[in-house]
Amino acid sequence: MTYKKSIILMLMTTTLSESQMNIPPGMIDLGAGNPPFSLLPIDLLKTAAEACFSKNNPAFLQYGAEQGDGRFRLGLADFLTHGYGFPVDAEHLFVTNGISNALDLICALFTRTGDTIFVEEPSYFLALRIFADHGLKIVSIDTDEDGLVIDSLEEKLREHKPKLLYVIPTHQNPSGHTLTEERRAQLAELAREHDFLILADEVYHFLSYDIQPPKSFSAWTENKHVFSLGSFSKILAPGLRLGWVQAHPDMIKKLAGCGLLDSGGGLNPFTSAVVHHVIESGGLAQNIAKLNDIYKSKLSVTNSALEKYLPQTTWASPQGGYFFWVRLPDGMDAAELQRKATDFKVGFRPGVRFSSRDGLHDYIRLSFVFYEPVEIEEGIVRLKRCMEQG
């Protein structure tokens, strides 16, 4: 076979996907939990990458320090100190490939197959997959509009001895709820008392539009049972694959001392150097302010469209993050609605995917960040038509 023919054959047999997104043309997929392409800060990152390459110091192309590049961690600590309003020490930070990677690594290092993890009901469905990959037994805890319910947690603690508890404290995925500061403190205390580790996934902490969020779990990391996990995916770009863990230095040592890093070096030194420049230039803070402005107005458009076109559904307007968590009327089944919705060229995520108890069948998750306001409204109109069809 000629070279040209083999290339043509390869093009025919391979999906040359450029991103994780796979939305058919004409479809409005309100399930998409990604930032819009138009808000991926290409110029900011181009300038930062050029600055790295022009320095004539190729250290960022070398195997990296296990805990993550020291200068980057100093810059990140400074950014977090300003963002949280209390000091964050660079020695308490560990660089990751994002929160998904942090969850996977912590499961690998701190659990064995068959161990129990507590999660919220509902919870981020793809994190549940990571826990399943590690053979963990998933037990879900009730939540309300203030996040995880402490009474429900205490009840489960009488029945189980969890190794981990996974919580999304601020603008939760999918519910949009935020855990109160009082409950955060109670949770940290219970973790110490019952010797389990809290994995606080703070991916939406800096995407707060209407409230100053309660203190990040960063504030409780003097407690060796608390890991605060952060990410640049939603505040810069997911393709960077960059995030961090903040924890007590003894716990950071355990992470940095693992075989993965011994062999491969610290995670993502190249991207860390680029993002370090973005932080130092003030570009990160500006990007977050820009995202918050745009997302706040998209949130408001979604709220109005729901009020106008789907008044029979129930939801609480989120105060940040990415998602509306909408309850369908009269116990309508979201999975069935989803099958019909394809014909109306509209998509969403059915609630059952976020349940660890095969529940929440009458909920749907709608993302309000990926599309432009007119598309959001059109998507909700399509959803209305689909629901009316019965």
Which residues are at the interface with ligand PLP (CB under 6 A)? 33, 98-100, 124, 168, 173, 201, 203, 231, 233, 238, 243
If we measure between CA atoms, which residue out of 174, 167, 94 comes closest to residue 131?
Answer: 167
Instruction: CB nearer to ligand PLP: give 99 or 226.
Output: 99
Contact 213, 170 (CB under 8 A): yes
**Least CB distance to ligand PLP at residue 234 (A):** 7
Query: How far is 93 from 267, CA to CA, in rounded Å?
Result: 13
Query: How far is 390 from 387, CA to CA, in rounded Å?
Result: 6
**Closest CB to ligand PLP: residue number:** 98
Query: How far is 316 from 266, CA to CA, in rounded Å?
Result: 41
Instruction: CB nearer to ligand PLP: give 236 or 334.
Output: 236
**Max Cα-Cα span within the chain:** 68
Supply 65's token pair.
């320090």
- On the 0-12 / 13-18 / 19+ scale of CB atoms within 10 A, 362 is buried
Instruction: CB nearer to ligand PLP: give 172 or 313.
Output: 172
Instruction: CB nearer to ligand PLP: give 133 or 222.
Output: 133
**Least CB distance to ligand PLP at residue 220 (A):** 19
CB atoms within 10 A of CB 36: 16
**Least CB distance to ligand PLP at residue 322 (A):** 7
Instruction: CB nearer to ligand PLP: give 32 or 191.
Output: 32
**Least CB distance to ligand PLP at residue 348 (A):** 15
User: Residue 152 is inside which H or E element, if any?
Assistant: helix 150-159
**Least CB distance to ligand PLP at residue 233 (A):** 3
Contact 27, 345 (CB under 8 A): yes
DSSP strand pairing (28-29 vs 137-144): unpaired
Kindly list the distances between the CA atom of residue 21 and the CA atoms of 29, 33, 70, in Å, as whole numbers in the listed order: 10, 10, 34
The residues, any chain, with a CB within 8 Å of residue 311's CB and separated by 6 or more, are none
**Least CB distance to ligand PLP at residue 236 (A):** 11
**Least CB distance to ligand PLP at residue 30 (A):** 14
Residue whose tokens read 């504030």:
219
- On the 0-12 / 13-18 / 19+ scale of CB atoms within 10 A, 289 is exposed
The sign of the CA dihedral 348, 128, 363, 307 is negative
**Least CB distance to ligand PLP at residue 238 (A):** 5
Instruction: CB nearer to ligand PLP: give 232 or 315.
Output: 232
**Least CB distance to ligand PLP at residue 97 (A):** 7
Query: Which residues face 208 on adjacent strands?
Result: 320
Residue whose tokens read 């203030």:
146
Residue type, 201: D
**Least CB distance to ligand PLP at residue 99 (A):** 4
To 5 degrees, how large is the angle CA 346–CA 366–CA 122?
Answer: 130
Instruction: CB nearer to ligand PLP: give 76 or 99.
Output: 99
Query: E strands, 318-357, where?
Result: 323-327, 346-347, 349-350
Instruction: CB nearer to ligand PLP: give 68 or 243.
Output: 243
Instruction: CB nearer to ligand PLP: give 233 or 272.
Output: 233
Instruction: CB nearer to ligand PLP: give 284 or 386.
Output: 284
